[in-house]
Amino acid sequence: MQNQNKKKNIKYIINSPEFAEFYGLLIGDGCIYSNKSGLCISGDSLLDKNYHTNHVKSLINKIFHIKPKIYYSKGQRSIRTIIYSRKLSFSLNKMGFPLGKKKYQRLEIPKYFFNNNQLIRSCIKGIYDTDGTIYHHNGAKAIVEISITNNYLLKSIEKAFFQLNLPFKITTERIYFSGKKNALNFYKIIKPANKKHIIKYESLMNNKRIPSYKETERLLKQ
């Protein structure tokens, strides 16, 4: 299954794991500009720098054969990976991705992803890498969490975790996994690519305490 644009020669396979991951990270911390001039993926300029400058940049180039622009905001800890392409913006919007602010719009994992568990896993990987976390809990030892304020998306991710047989818990604004065993299982199945998550996962896997936010910052600077 291929989507293409002849004028700009934008061609991409919409049923590939790479595209599903890209769609997931766009769901997690991305947006398509309201005027459809392009799209943006945001992150923390320290915690997500490695992820944006290496993984996200490489992923976009592999899928769309486009070199995105990376910007740092002055006075804020913000990094933005931007693709300036009206054709791609129109194409993604036509697939169902909303324009502008996503909170109250219909935002879901594409329905055809549910025909292939690999696409579901890759999409969740993108969502978690941009909008998820893992942290120490005195009782459970570990909690893997994705905060979700969009009710459509919450239901869509709930459906995805049911399909993947992942034992999650859910509230009105988050979906999470409690306990070391469930946390490690989530990572083995989803395989996050963001270095800040990998650092914490490796610590938990080695029977160590999950690093705090500040400790993770320090480890990323090394």
Can you give the CATH number for the domain in which 81 is found?
3.10.28.10
For residue 189, give every residue at least 6 positions away whose Cβ sits within 8 Å of its Cβ, in sequence order, or none.
121, 164, 166
Matching residue, tokens 């899928």? 63
Residue-level pLDDT at 40: 97
Residue range 70-80, pLDDT digits in tens: 999 988 899 99
Query: What's the whole-number average pLDDT of the chain?
Result: 93
Stretch 85-113: mean pLDDT: 93
159 exposure class (CB count in 10 Å sphere: 0-12, 13-18, 19+): middle
Domain span at residue 141? 2-221
The DSSP symbol for 46 reads: T
The proportion of the chain whose per-residue pLDDT surpasses 70, expressed as a percent, equals 95
For CA atoms 61, 22, 196, 165, the dihedral sign is negative
| 139-195 pLDDT, tens digit each | 889 999 999 999 999 999 999 999 999 999 999 999 999 999 999 999 999 999 999
Average pLDDT over residues 38-65: 96
The total number of structural domains in the chain stands at 1
Q: How far is Cα 166 from Cα 186, in angstroms, rounded to an integer?
A: 7
pTM of the model: 0.93
